[in-house]
Amino acid sequence: MQAAIAAFLMALMLATADAASVSVVGLFPSRAVVSINGGAPKTMRIGEMTEEGVKLIAVQSDSAIFDLDGKLRTIRIGEYVGSRQPSAQEAVILKVAQGGHFYADATVNGGMMRFMVDTGATTIAISVRDAKRLGVNYLNAPVGSVQTANGSRSAWKVKLDTVSIGSITINNVDATVLDGGLATPLLGMSFLSRTTMQQQGDTLIMTKRF
């Protein structure tokens, strides 16, 4: 399996150098939020073409179709297609767990935490208990409410100083502190959108994008 992963990473790094690198960060009706050549995410509408020659053709529930150098490519949310791949040494490799989810052991503000990867979550989400353990001063943060499976819960919008998973460290990460209704911390798009992700069978390969 390690040899297969190494071959997969090598194949990605040997992609055509002239092609733009595209990752899909978010999907909405008739629009896709993308990062091109590692740049900051931006919104494209169907039919729009960027100066890099990337044209959005269609948006589906979990992917978008692009015209890249005259070839149609379907790119799923969180996926990366292109030539600007970091080295294998920079990659974090996660294995699928029972139930089909990916979990990542992380260091958050110096404390340990185990997240479930969730591309449907806008931000990292942690419980009040975890926030207290990590020393997050959430009570002075803006507060609102969210609907969970257990009803309405208070939710504070905070910034996490650092979130590290393997070789990937990202600073100043948006997070939500929930007062109940959260059994497992969620690794949401406030972290994931700053990485690229490729799934190969039961393996998720994650690399830092910016």
Q: Which domains does the chain have, with CATH numbers?
A: 18-81 (2.30.30.830), 88-208 (2.40.70.10)
Q: Mind listing the pLDDT tens digit for each residue in 156-185? A: 999 999 999 998 999 999 999 999 878 899
Summarize the confidence of residues 96-125 as an average pLDDT. 93
Q: CA-CA distance, 66 to 56, in Å (whole number)? A: 5
**CB-CB contact of 206 with 196 (8 Å):** yes
In the block, residue with structure tokens 């029972």: 98
- Residues of the chain with pLDDT > 90, as a percent, come to 46
Question: Length of the chain, please?
Answer: 210
DSSP 102: B
Q: CA-CA distance, 210 to 199, in Å (whole number)? A: 20
Q: CA-CA distance, 203 to 102, in Å (whole number)? A: 9
- The pLDDT value given to residue 16: 36
**Average pLDDT value over all residues in the chain:** 83
Q: How confident is the model at residue 138 (pLDDT cuts 50, 70, 90)?
A: very high
**Does residue 17 surpass a pLDDT of 50?**
no
In the block, residue with structure tokens 């090598």: 10
Q: CA-CA distance, 61 to 86, in Å (whole number)? A: 28
